[in-house]
């Protein structure tokens, strides 16, 4: 939270002179307690020091520095969302993607299926399971969406891990340093729901994907997209590459990178909002 600047008062300031009395020699003096200059200076220093310390503590709380109680509480809260929050809050029935399409076009996605919450045994390819093993698998939630034209389908997943903050940070560093999110042998699997336009959305139909390892929550967010007509894809492309200007691959031209990234971003934002709401401190 960033505190807003306080508005100054517009009322006029009026000062009144201090009343005078008389000392033992009948000389005028100011009524009140006389304080030695050194004592006054020391007192002022103490007040100033306390003010600076208080400001530092307040600033640390406001920005939520790593290791503070608020950060730890948020991490813990996030880990329990899979059984504490309604599915419609984690995966809204409809999501708006203003400017999320190619060229800044707007997108609207409709949820067509929600998978039962499960473990991770059959949800990832073997190599992906091996990479995720250090953080464990508490629960996996998935939902599949389609665009307004029902031309594309995208599965979004929230993997709630058993890892602590250090384990999640280590996994995030590995994904970044080794570019694991861009490897086709580490693509997440889609959720193909029967009797929907995603019924034929299997491993061979994966066209574009994104994976994000969070460090402030024990969660891995991912999305994988493909065509709704069940066509196979010979050369899948990570969303980050498919969204680059001038790319002429089929996933890029169809905007499937935008589909995966746009949905993953919005589900992640919703997750963060849900985590922050119950633990937010008043300003």
For residue 69, what pLDDT is reported?
A: 52
> How far apart are alpha carbons 149 and 254 in whole angstroms?
13
Flag whether pLDDT at 212 surpasses 90. Answer: yes
**What pLDDT is recorded for position 46?**
38
Q: Which of 70-79, 82-91, 101-110, 265-274 has the lowest mean pLDDT?
A: 70-79
Calpha distance 240→251 (Å, rounded): 11
Indicate whether 259 pLDDT > 70: yes
Strand order in the sheet with 107-114: 94-97, 107-114, 139-147, 152-160, 219-227, 208-213, 237-238
The more confident residue out of 7 and 104 is 104
Q: Which of the residue ranges 27-41, 121-135, 180-194, 238-252 would you say has the lowest mean pLDDT?
A: 27-41
- pLDDT value at 278 more than 80: no
Local structure of residue 52 (DSSP, 8 states): H
- Taking alpha carbons only, the member of 229, 190, 191 closest to residue 208 is 190
The pLDDT, as a whole number, for residue 131 is 96
Task: Say what the pLDDT of residue 79 is.
Answer: 87
Average pLDDT in the 72-94 region? 87
Structure token digits, residue 208: 């574009």
Relative orientation angle of helices 69-79 and 256-279, to the nearest 10 degrees: 120
The mean pLDDT value for 89-93 works out to: 96
Q: Which residue has the higher pLDDT, 154 or 12?
A: 154
Closest CA to 216 of 169, 156, 162: 169
Q: Would you call 6 helix, strand, or coil by DSSP?
A: coil
Q: Return the pLDDT at 72.
A: 62
How many whole angstroms separate alpha carbon 84 and alpha carbon 77?
9
Give 17 or 125, the one with higher predicted confidence.
Answer: 125
pLDDT tens for each residue of 33-81 = 444 444 444 444 433 343 333 333 322 222 234 444 556 678 888 888 8
Please state whether the predicted TM-score (pTM) of the whole model is above 0.85. Answer: no
Residue-averaged pLDDT of the chain? 79
Q: Which runs of consecutive H residues, i.e. helices, occur in 65-145?
A: 69-79, 81-84, 87-90, 126-132
Say yes or no to pLDDT of 280 above 90: no
Q: What is the pLDDT of residues 221-258, one digit of tens each?
A: 999 999 999 999 999 999 999 999 899 999 999 999 99
DSSP H stretches of helix in 190-255: 239-242, 250-254
The average pLDDT across 124-139 equals: 95
Per-residue confidence (pLDDT) for residue 75, from 0 to 100: 87
**Is the per-residue pLDDT at 104 higher than 90?**
no
Among 27-31, 52-56, 149-153, name the one with the lowest average pLDDT: 52-56
Residue 174 has which token pair?
């590995």
**Range 268-278 average pLDDT:** 83
Q: Beta strands of the chain (E only): which ranges? A: 20-22, 28-30, 94-97, 107-114, 139-147, 152-160, 208-213, 219-227, 237-238
């Amino acid at each position: 939270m960033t505190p807003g600047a306080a508005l100054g008062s517009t009322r006029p300031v009026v000062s009144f002179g201090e009343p005078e009395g008389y000392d033992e020699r009948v000389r005028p003096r100011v009524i009140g307690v006389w304080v030695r200059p050194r004592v006054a200076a020391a007192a002022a220093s103490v007040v100033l020091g306390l003010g600076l310390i208080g400001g530092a503590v307040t600033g640390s709380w406001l920005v939520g520095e790593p290791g503070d109680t608020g950060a730890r509480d948020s991490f813990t809260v996030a880990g329990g969302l899979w059984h504490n929050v309604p599915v419609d809050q984690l995966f809204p029935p409809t999501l708006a993607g203003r400017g999320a399409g190619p060229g800044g076009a707007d997108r609207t996605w409709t949820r067509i299926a929600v998978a039962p919450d499960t473990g991770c045994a059959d949800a990832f390819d073997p190599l992906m399971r091996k990479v995720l093993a250090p953080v464990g698998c508490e629960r996996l939630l998935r939902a599949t969406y389609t665009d307004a034209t029902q031309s594309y389908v995208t599965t979004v997943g929230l993997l709630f891990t058993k890892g602590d903050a250090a384990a999640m940070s280590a996994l995030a560093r590995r994904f970044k340093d080794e570019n694991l999110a861009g490897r086709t042998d580490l693509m997440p699997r889609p959720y193909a729901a029967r009797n929907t336009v995603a019924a034929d959305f299997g491993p061979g139909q994966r066209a574009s994907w994104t994976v994000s390892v969070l460090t402030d929550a024990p969660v891995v967010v991912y999305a994988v997209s493909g065509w709704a007509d069940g066509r196979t894809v010979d050369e899948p492309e990570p969303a980050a590459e498919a969204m680059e200007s001038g790319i002429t691959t089929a996933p890029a031209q169809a905007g499937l990178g935008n589909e995966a990234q746009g949905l993953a971003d919005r589900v992640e934002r919703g997750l963060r909002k849900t985590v922050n709401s119950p633990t937010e401190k008043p300003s």
